[in-house]
A and B are shown apart, each in its own frame.
Chain A
């Protein structure tokens, strides 16, 4: 019974990954000739300032995205109606951004924010606000963050909403009998009950935002300068632009390990309170 799974995982994950591992320890000068270099690429990568900067940018981006989207998503889910026609309307509205292809999202915001023809960019300019995402680092970041919040908060909302509607009515009744405040209801009933779906939301939003490529590539192209060059953009430049297969392979592996590590940390923290005793 295990064999089909193993075969599937081998083809979809292990074999491609081993190819990358293979590249990461060799160098090539073309002609399909490879030389063994050991851990040289890894050492170079981990001491490279370019990598550190890109890593910091990506971590900052993911951090900001999580800090905004998770509380905002919970808040919207709490505010959504629980029954009636409003439910369907809200759900459809929420699902809309999720249905748009990523490069289209990038294009929408790229045009939207343009100072010459974009509604947002031009509007802000008319109001006398100096906004230009192609030249100003802060504006570029702001545009990307707002775009991601617009695109993905819905996912958090939908997950939290599904958790909230699954809470039996009797919990709210008991809370009213116990005289619990709105905050206490959230803190002791709603939050514990949606914790599991919230964990999924956090993991998905971390992974997706940490690997974000298409949208910043379309909107800012990694600029101005290297201001929005995240790990993914940097990696593509290295592998496709410069054709440095060895360093790019080493970077891919490190990239992958970082995502794995951070997900593990999130998972451990969020499930650690489950069955333990408290003093």
Chain B
């Protein structure tokens, strides 16, 4: 096991063709501690898989170095790096049995037969597939095939890190929880460095100690699930995490007050940001921290109400911005409603980046 360090890593797929460099991954520095459980979260096409493939060596970065325990391994092949990676779609060796599939990575590395047998038996039990050990992989359903793919990643005990590239996409929802819990348990038991790529925030937040949010080829925030929720460093993070995401409204600073389209936001204390220039300033507030009150606050038009079971999502319109409000079951919508923001939960953004709190 090793700590992984990415130094000035960047990648573009059309390197050297034409003048315009189109980065799939913008230059970044990032280290991953030994034994950490990380999630890479972001929308499709944000560079998550590119980053993962650079770590495993399937892709050579156009710029920068990859270090394992301070040792430069940028030029080593995937085979030499000792990394396990599980892909989005199941990859099985059709003609081999389930057990032989699991033994395959170990056999290729020339381990002793009794070690292989022991490890395969352990992983079979972990996956609950003992009964299917001697079945050919080709006849299995997608769930089982993906379990084998996971198993081939977990069977090696000496790997530097295990990388998961949206491994549960094809898995049935009820099994997803089970496998995720299993992965979490395996992590606690063996303390492998695990990096888990996903575009599903629930998956990321439940799996990882640290979540890395990516957007347009760059890392926009690294933090615990709580930090990402309470203090998104970028409006994208705020909108991407949470359901519905954070409300973002254009605003201005007037003295120590925040003004949204001529409406002063009731704060109760001064803003802890000193900005001369309030150009491109935005206010971010989570729907959980917005209340509706009658005849006071910022007046809005209610455009829709959705009852999602445990709470009610109220959609409203304020000038050109959409504002979502989460009401607890039983809370009514007052007549002539106005928005009240919980002051301590307001974040201020300039050009999409966090610049201050209240």
Contact = CB atoms under 8 A, between A and B. Distances in A.
B108 A178 contact: yes
A86 interface: no
A276 B85 CA distance: 29
A274 interface: yes
Given A171-B91, A278-B134, A278-B136, A177 B96 contact: no
Interface string A263-279: 00000000001111111
Interface string B26-50: 0000000000000000000000000
A253 interface: no
Contacts of A188: 93, 95-96, 104
Interface stretch (B75-83, B188-196, B348-356): B75-83
A179 B136 contact: no
A181 B134 contact: no
A188 B97 CA distance: 11
B87 A275 contact: no
B97 A278 contact: yes
Contacts of B94: 192-193
A11 B78 CA distance: 60
Contacts of B134: 277-279
Contacts of B88: 170
Interface centre among A170, A179, A188, A273 (most CB of B within 10 A): A179
A12 interface: no
Contacts of A273: 95
A174 B91 contact: yes
Contacts of B108: 178-181, 184
A276 B94 CA distance: 12
A276 B136 contact: yes
A173 interface: yes
B109 interface: yes
B258 to A, nearest CB: 49
Interface in A161-189: 168, 170-171, 173-174, 176-181, 184, 188-189
Contacts of B153: 177
A185 to B, nearest CB: 10
B335 to A, nearest CB: 57
Nearest to A178: B105
Contact of B79 (A174, A176, A189, A275): A176
B87 A179 contact: no
A124 to B, nearest CB: 45
B270 interface: no
Interface residues of A, number: 23
Contacts of A174: 85, 87, 91, 149, 152
Interface string B91-126: 101111100000011001100000000000000000
B136 A177 contact: no
B273 interface: no
Contacts of B105: 177-179
Contact of A177 (B85, B95, B97): B85
Interface centre among A171, A177, A181 (most CB of B within 10 A): A177
B321 to A, nearest CB: 42
B138 interface: yes
Given A189-B93, A192-B94, A278-B97, A176 B78 contact: yes
Contacts of A274: 138
Given A188-B96, A188-B104, A192-B95, A275 B83 contact: no
A177 B56 contact: yes
A178 B152 contact: yes
Interface centre among A176, A178, A184, A274 (most CB of B within 10 A): A178
Contacts of A173: 53, 58, 78, 85, 87
Contacts of B149: 174
Contact of A170 (B87, B109, B135): B87
Contacts of B79: 176, 179
A32 B152 CA distance: 75
Nearest to B93: A188
Interface in A74-115: none
Given A170-B89, A181-B108, A176 B139 contact: no
Nearest to A274: B138
A273 B105 CA distance: 23
Nearest to B149: A174
B220 to A, nearest CB: 27
Contact of B136 (A170, A180, A184, A275): A275
B84 interface: yes
Nearest to B163: A177
A74 to B, nearest CB: 16
A230 B58 CA distance: 53
Interface in A227-279: 273-279
B84 A177 contact: yes
A277 B131 CA distance: 12
Nearest to B78: A176
Contact of B78 (A168, A170, A177, A189): A177
A276 B321 CA distance: 61
Nearest to B136: A278
A162 to B, nearest CB: 18
Interface in B125-159: 134-136, 138-139, 149, 152-153
A275 B95 contact: no
A181 B109 CA distance: 10
5 contacts: A174-B149, A177-B153, A178-B105, A178-B108, A188-B95
Given A173-B78, A177-B105, 13 more contacts: A170-B89, A170-B91, A173-B85, A174-B87, A178-B105, A179-B108, A180-B104, A188-B96, A189-B93, A193-B94, A277-B135, A277-B136, A278-B97
Return the 8 tightest CB-CB contacts between A and B, nearest first. A174-B91, A179-B108, A178-B105, A176-B78, A188-B93, A192-B94, A177-B85, A192-B95
